[in-house]
Chain A
Amino acid sequence: EPALIFDLGGKFDKSFNEAAFTGAQRWAEETGESFREIELQSEAQREQALRRFAEAGNNPIVMTGFAFGDVLSQVAPDYPETDFAIIDMVVDQPNVRSVVFNEHEGSYLVGMMAAMASESGTVGFIGGMDIPLIRKFACGYAQGVKAANPDATVLANMTGTTPAAWNDPVKGSELTKAQISQGADVVYAAAGGTGVGVLQTAADEDILSIGVDSNQNHLHPGQVLTSMLKRVDNAVYQAFQDGPGMEKGFNVMGVGNGGIGYAMDENNADLVTEEMKTAVDEAAAKIADGSLQVHDYMSDDSCPALDF
């Protein structure tokens, strides 16, 4: 029986934990089998949950979130018979599969779309808690915007400095309104539950928004320009599917291998012009073949297109 460990945000974080859950469920539905899961409540539970599942014979054990990196690198050697998969972090151990996503690439693509959809030339970014990962999203996005429209302005706000920043849709709304009053007509939310408020307000105020992680286009049909897809669900599904004895090592999921992308469906079909699609697909192709390098904030903690 495989196991899945959600990070502190909880499995219904409207973000990547939820995507992981979706993937696991898809696997369960397709195979008719079951899996174990736990939503962490405290930092100290990370290690405990890993060891408990490993000792109980759960295999493979999949976990979401960079915060597991450190603990896993200590725990994994103790259970050589168990396979682990970690998402969003690289852990160099023989029994660990590390899956990382090039969120900056996907953010770059939606940034291009934002710039092209914007009439005002000002677009916004709203992050959750101010951590490096979220800056990575923001930085990729800003690069995409500038690539499509070098004169565009990118407004970037973070919601806060405590974990409450992931669950404060009210503040998300206010930030959106503040960005709108500064001229933004497209906003990209990478803020978990706070993003709900961002998308809602964008819809209420009649501007475009961009969802994150999973496809959020359906939340406000016709008002969400697109969503930056991070196929955590696929990664979890794949790990469960591969089962014990799965292939280890690093999996970098990017635009090239379909791990990262942007969402197109009937909800946003009218919003995305042919021109946009062409430009974005072209950029995607270049990213895939390596001829276009999107700067990753986390590689050197700096961003050429945006100041924090």
Chain B
Amino acid sequence: MATTDFTEHSAVTAGPDGRRFDLARYRDLSLLPVLVVLGIIGFAVSPAFLTADNLLGVGQQATELSLLVLAEAMILITGRMDLSLESTIGVAPVIAVWLVLPDHGARFNGLGLFPGWAAIPLCLFVGALIGAVNGFLILKLRLNGFIVTLGGLTLLRGLQVAVSQGQSIVNVPGSFRYLGSASWLGAPAAIWICAVLFLLAGSALAWLRHGRALYAIGGNAEAARAAGIRVDKITWVVLILGSLLAAFAGILYTGHYGSISADQGNGWIFQVFAATVIGGVSLNGGRGTLFGALTGVLTLQLVVNVMTLAGVPPLWNQFLNGVIIILALIVSRFASGEKQE
């Protein structure tokens, strides 16, 4: 009797659950229908849409944003937020270049403290430093992460304006330029690099203990601590990695557009969040995949591409953009069948 009982009981819960899990498991694919629809619209709208040129172009334009999204997705999965990424993408290259460029002879003069090859390491170092400081303020002083990094966003942007005196810096080091504009095997290098970074990070989050720890920490930090996960340390590392990625995105951006502009990345954080969340990463931590986040970026980027191809009247551009974010959100909510709270 007791056994029958139990099977019956578990049947009640397991049966429907089973079905739900399958859906939920593909929650990070919930934007794929949106992408397909966009593809069809794009194809209908212009024959230029489905050309390698156009798609690679969209891909390359997505690279910098997608690195920020990669960074933010990891941070969100760990249950934190970092708004200052959008400033890091600008300030890290500026500081690196300022330390490296000679102190005379050009429109923008640096300090010439380091040799030219040091630009990339310096830029990455500045990124890591920013992440470390954020981590200190959030984890040691226990300040609210949202506002600390909001303050950081303003502060870093201001630092960039101050250091670059508001100018775009055009004489960027060759190493930046190479990474941002080289082509490998017929596709821009930046696309390859991004793909590899997403693969690496995605695999780490899927198959490595320390990667899984992010989900545990974001899901329930106390429980993670009880299970022996070094919560603060790992969170700190994630914040540092995030800023590092943003600094690297800054290198690609600088190389791609041929200069460091003073408002590089300005306003991107909204797009970063939009892409990450419509891609299925939870703002409350512990849920979502990097692949999902990637589909989020591609969706936003394709929207812009298709709207341009379709010749949407400039005045209605932004409105449509907002409509599409909300529609994508609705689709991804119902495709995954989960409430997003």
A binds B: no
A contact set with B: CB distance below 8 Å: none
B contact set with A: CB distance below 8 Å: none
